[in-house]
Amino acid sequence: MSERQSVKNRIRDIEREYLAQAGGLGIDPGGLQDLVDKDRQEYPEKYKGSRDEMVHNMVVSVYGETPKELPLFKIAGVTLTESITVPDRSTPSGFRKVETYSATANQARECAILKMRKGAEVLAKAESYHKVADLAFERGEGNPETLLRDVLDK
């Protein structure tokens, strides 16, 4: 396991513990950050290489940002973003960002198809979770305060 993965896994473990302790109150990013900072002070050797991880995460974050809409780029009154994402099997991720100004009509179509598929996946997951919530209400006899752990499959 790389140093980057071990630091990330350590933070995930801290998050899991924080979630378990918080119960139904939930957690917030600031509280998690405080716990990680405390852990870094107690066990600095566990965070060796975290600077490299930070730079890597920034690169991933910047790459994954939603492109800005630029008023200069419009087609049929629709404002286009500064870049679009298109499928590309030759890259490790399977996708490539293309500057909108240099993109082709076919790339715009491929981007639209990707967005529609992603939207359909999100809707399907949301519908599935809604069914789970309905079943939890049913198993909890309509009580909105029923804990999910009390209505899990046996």
C-alpha separations of 103 from 60, 80, 81, 97, 100 in Å: 22, 11, 11, 10, 5
Predicted local confidence at residue 60, as pLDDT: 75
DSSP 8-state class, residue 94 = S
Average pLDDT over residues 126-154: 95
Taking only the tens place, the pLDDT of each residue in 19-45 is 888 877 778 888 888 898 899 899 888
The answer to whether 131 touches 140, Cβ cutoff 8 Å, is no
Distance in angstroms (rounded) separating the CA atoms of residues 43 and 37 = 10
Q: What pTM does this model have?
A: 0.59
Burial 87-105 (b: 16+ CB within 10 A, else e): eeeeeeeebebbebeebee
Partnered with residue 84 across adjacent β-strands are 98
